[in-house]
Structure 1
Amino acid sequence: MRTRMCFDDVAWERSEAIQAAWIHELFKEDTLMAIGNFILRHRKGVPVELCDPKAGAFNVCFRMKFEDGGSAIIRFPKPGATMFPEEKVRVEVDMIRYIHQNTTVPVPFILHWGTKEESPLGLGPFIIMEYIDHVMDLTDALITPELSIRDRPILDPNIDNTKLELLYGQVADILLQLSKLQLPRIGSLVQIDNFTWEVSQRPLSYSTNELVRLGTLPRPRLPQKKETFQSAPAYLNKLADLQLEHLTYQRNDAVDSADDCRRKYVARLLFRKLAREGQFTTPSTNLGPFHIWCDDLRPSNVLLNENLQIVGVVDWEFTYAAPVEFSHAPPWWLLLEQPEYWPDGLEAWTKMYDSRLQNFLKVLRRQEDVAIDRGILEDEQRLSRPMQQSWERGDFWVMYAARKTFAFDAVFWKKLDGRFFGPATSTEDERWKERIDLLSEDERAEMEKIVEKKMGETGTRILAWEPDEVD
């Protein structure tokens, strides 16, 4: 059986095709001219060069160099990759401005932004920002040197400890600053005026985008655009519901057999049961205040100069106020690679991660001590203690499973089942049979209906979302 949910390959291929066709149009001379002229309307100076576009997972950037030595970039969400382009841009702009005003985290300075209708040639919603000069990103500084560009990134096992702690320490300071930004509800920020923001839109998460793009979840199943959450249990209940919705609606590659479907269904029902019982949070934090959380805060978005000093943190599109348990979980990216993709499996990742986590917590405590001595942090605001506890208790894995829909199955059976439901006598693949008695008769009957539905879908492979939904 599959250890994790696979992406819908039909949706993946269509997503890639839409992206490729759109990017191809960017290289036309008229398009490049329109983009260059548009940048010049919002960044004064004598232009020197419009560089070739650079594409990331969700965006394409054009950089224009100026005679004064500075540069500006214009960034567009990629159709086919970004399911909520207008919402994504608005959320990111407001969050960047909020972080800029309330922390010393080096974020891009926004020159201008706008909707698709306001963009050159209607290419899409956009942000124009001052370019942050850098020589590498944090991944470049941490990665195993002999890996090729096609390899998935893995932390250099022989990295110098002094270098590692220098880099970890700077990120620790950023996480500390973000943890001090407290908000009254769970959701995305909207700027009201120059000094006022409100949490008045749904949390636009990385998972929200991918559930639609590669999990083919119908958009009406997501929280509505103006929906926010007043408690951590309410939000975690919604995430648990979405895990089950994902299994139900993903058209292709969701399961590989009837028993695989039952195994996935039982895991999601048990996870939802735990969420509804309030097993994942504590009463003292349930009603907030809530912390700023960025799903995409990872090394490739942290920019460094030649002295390995952080000069910029970019890509804040999937950032929102979240349960404190999210920020109390230690960063997953300390090894660069995600646990579900680790070559030797989840347990090997866990063992390797534990040793690097101790490096991170050491420098985090050092940063906390400095901040407390300077009077800008209280002892009860430390992150190191809750991070250590999250890892030791296994809460790290609860939050990871809640947030990462495609990794859910691997995490649930290896890290959560035994913790919450006790030891089992069967193999991991067969353990669902021991847990099925925990379901009600109605839930077991519904499971068989879902199994029948999923097995009936295996004969044909169709695209379950309309391409024009990405516009």
Structure 2
Amino acid sequence: MGFAWERVTEVYQNCSHNARIEVIPGQAPFTGHSSVELEDHLCLTPALISLDFMDINNPIEVIHDVRKRLWIERVNQARVAGHMTSWMSSLHPKKLGCRLDCKALNGSYNLCQRLRFCDGTTWLLRMPIVGSVCDEYADEKVAMEVEALSLLRDKNVPVPGVIAWGLTAANPLGLGPYVVMDFVEGASVNTLLREQQHDTRWLRDDICDDDVEFLSRQFARILLHIFQIDFPTLGSLPTPVTVFNAPVRPLTFKAHDILQTGGVNTFGDRTKGFADTADYFCHLVNQDWEQFQRQPNSGGGPTVTQAKYAAFLALHSSVTIPASLTLSFGAQTTSLWSGSWTSNGRTPARRSSLAPWWLLQDRLNNYDTFLNKEEAPRFLGRYLRNLDVFKTVLDEEEARTPGQQTMELSRLGRHSEKSGSMWLHMLLSWGFNHPDSLPFAQLQVRLERERWKELEEGHHGKEAREFTERKLAELDKYDETVERIVCMQDDLENGKMTIEAFVAVLKVV
């Protein structure tokens, strides 16, 4: 079938905050987004992220937080002074006046502002948040989102229409690239179904199968549309709408997150394409290895560092050795519905056929089987039950969809589950992996423990010990840097240092 667009599946999920989602039976509809309201004055305070979360490079994250605070203050000034509404009115065909319809809303990567015109029309202004999205890639991110939304809309996938968009240079308020789109009233499924009591994104465990089926059927119909999109090569999306000069290699969610959160650039030479699927897979695995090698706090103690070292090299071997995972798992690729808009490319078409990671609303990569040993089997069982429901409705919808009677999507999906490739591709699509995550643990089970031990053999000797010693030395220096930043943060909070001076010192540190 060739290769299909990775980006289109991701855009659909991420624009669902602004698209109509049918309400689950028994639930009252509401208007809103799956994002969190900012305070009235949109003020953020820079703070160190918990040092227990080793994936975050804290000195870099502090810089991002400070820059985010400065940017949001500028956004607030534009809102209060009326510059934002004047700008939106200038984009209206009839130059109608408008007002801010709510507080600004922010997700992980974007700030959204709803605006209501005097004729009742409602728009949504959406801008990448400085500090959450890498400045170097913000323009590309927005341009490729516009391309993906246009493609989805042409394929009759329900997404908001794009009214206007622009790159950084085109924003009269100096707030970066933007997209203006239709606002569609709807209910946030993420909010309705999450475990509110435990402050987690995981799906509530009291959701009945009928409700899971109700939602799965809608997603299945969408996937069947997306599965028909086909292109012969891997790479960035074509840009007929924006005419943006995108590099050959796509801006992916994984590579962007590793750079923005970990401070490690794993994009490689973006002017070069990929020879084939195996080349692409190796590139994805190498991104994990590069992040682990080059991020100073990516290890932990000696035991954790050595375990990661052996696991990543074993994973690399499993993908690159002939007759191993690459051949036995076939030409499929990563899982569906990535939780960001920052991936903008074409990857193997079989990605649409894999088991969706979103069946419990959050990535299984975030579930630690070591810290949750007792609950892990039950949690895995919940996912597999929802997967059974999804497979059933996908079979039914594919059978009645014109041009899909061959049942190729369902067939490939079942193969990915049977072969175990679904677990591999959950790893390949996500950064900051570790051997105790649920997909990593399940991959080891599918390969059988003895086979996995064979792959790890040879990675516990002298080189492993030297690597561990180096990582521990890097971690000591990293901890010293963090302590210095904490002291500077106290000066900032006490008014002894300005934000500008704080950022300048951090860049040197």
Aligned to 1:409: 435
C-alpha separation between the residues in 1 aligned to 2:228 and 2:458? 40
CA distance, structure 1, for counterparts of residue 335 and residue 190 of structure 2: 23
Q: Give the CA deviation at 1:166.
A: 1.6
Contact 2:71 2:130 in 1 (8 A): yes
Find the partner of 2:67 among 18, 24, 36: 18
What is the DSSP-based 3-state SS (H/G/I as helix, E as strand, rest coil) of the residue aligned with 2:125? Answer: strand
Within 2, Cα distance between the matches of 1:386 and 1:235? 20
- The alpha-carbon distance between structure 1 residues 285 and 32, as it changes in their structure 2 partners (threshold 3 A), is farther
Amino acid in the other structure paired with 2:282: N
Q: Give the whole-Å Cα distance in 1 for the aligned partners of 2:244 and 2:436.
A: 38
C-alpha distance in 1, partners of 2:334/2:229? 6
Contact 2:317 2:455 in 1 (8 A): no
Equivalent-residue separation in structure 2 for 1:201 and 1:294 (angstroms): 22
Kept after mapping to 2: 8 A contact 1:398/1:416:
yes
Q: Does 1:271 align with 2:271?
A: no
Does residue 139 in structure 1 map to residue 190 in structure 2?
A: yes
Aligned to 1:41: 90
Alpha-carbon deviation of 1:421? 6.2
Distance 1:292 1:415 in 2: 15
1:140-159 alignment, distance < 5 Å: 140-144=191-195, 147-148=196-197, 151-159=199-207
Partner of 2:148: 95
Structure 1 residues 295, 153: CA separation in 2 closer, same or farther (over 3 Å shift)?
A: closer
Q: C-alpha deviations, 1:404-438, integer Å up to 9, x for none?
A: 222342247522335436438xxxxxx97x76534
Deviation at 1:174, TM superposition (A): 0.8
Given the superposition, is the C-alpha separation of residues 228 and 205 from structure 1 closer, same or farther in structure 2, using an over 3 Å criterion? Answer: same
C-alpha separation between the residues in 2 aligned to 1:175 and 1:198?
A: 28
The alignment of Structure 1 onto Structure 2 pairs a total of residues equal to 424
Checking the alignment, whether the CA contact within 8 Å between 1:291 and 1:321 is kept in structure 2 is no
Please give the secondary structure, in 2, of the residue aligned with 1:105.
coil
Q: Return the alpha-carbon distance in structure 1 between the equivalents of residues 57 and 335 of structure 2.
A: 31
The equivalent residue for 1:212 is 259
In the TM superposition, what is the alpha-carbon distance from 1:293 to its structure 2 partner?
Answer: 6.0
Identify which of 407, 413, 438 aligns with 1:387.
413
CA 1:294–1:333: 2 relative to 1, 3 Å: closer
Aligned-pair identity in percent equals: 21
Aligned to 1:228: 273
Structure 1 contact 179–292 (Cα < 8 Å) conserved? no
Pick closer, same or farther for the CA change 1:55–1:30 going to 2, 3 Å.
Answer: closer
Contact 1:53 1:63 in 2 (8 A): yes
Task: Letter of the 1:362 partner, please give it.
Answer: T
The 3 A distance-change label for structure 1 pair 33 and 232 is same
Conserved 8 A contact 1:65-1:71: yes
Letter of the structure 2 residue corresponding to residue 49 of structure 1: R
TM-score (norm 1): 0.80
Cα gap change, 1:17/1:294 in structure 2, threshold over 3 Å: closer, same or farther? same
Q: CA deviation at 1:77?
A: 0.6
Letter in 2 for 1:451: T
Matched with 2:167 is: 115
Matched, 1:368 2:398: yes
Asked if 1 retains the 8 angstrom alpha-carbon contact of 2:236 and 2:345, the reply is yes
Query: Cα–Cα, structure 1 residues 73 and 224, in superposed 2: closer, same or farther, change >3 Å?
Result: farther
Structure 2: gaps spanning 5 or more residues: 1-50, 486-502
Q: State the superposition RMSD in angstroms.
A: 3.4
Match of 1:311 in 2: none
AA aligned to 1:91 is M
- Counterparts of residues 324-363 of structure 1 (less than 5 Å): 324-342=349-367, 346-363=376-393
User: Could you tell me how far 1:267 is from its partner in structure 2?
Assistant: 1.0
Structure 2 CA distance for partners of 1:225 and 1:402, relative to 1, 3 Å? same
Tell me the distance in 2 between the aligned counterparts of 1:93 and 1:193.
Answer: 8
Instruction: Output the CA distance in 2 between the equivalents of 1:291 and 1:11.
Output: 28
Deviation at 1:205, TM superposition (A): 1.7
**Post-superposition CA distance 1:144-175 (Å, at most 9, x none):** 4xx24x70123233324333212110011111
Q: By how many angstroms is 1:74 displaced? A: 1.6
Equivalent residue for 2:248? 201
Q: Which residue pairs with 1:301 in the alignment?
A: none
Asked if the contact 2:335/2:354 (under 8 Å) is kept, the reply is no
Are 2:399 and 2:407, in contact at CA under 8 Å, matched by a contact in 1?
Answer: no
Aligned AA for 1:19?
K
| Structure 1: gaps of 5 or more residues | 297-314, 425-430
Q: For 1:361 and 1:318, locate their aligned partners in 2 and report how far apart those are by CA, in whole Å.
A: 26
SS at match of 1:122: coil
The residue type paired with residue 243 of structure 1 is D
Q: Give 1:282 shift.
A: 4.6
Q: CA deviation at 1:42?
A: 1.8
Question: Could you say which structure has the higher strand fraction?
Answer: 1
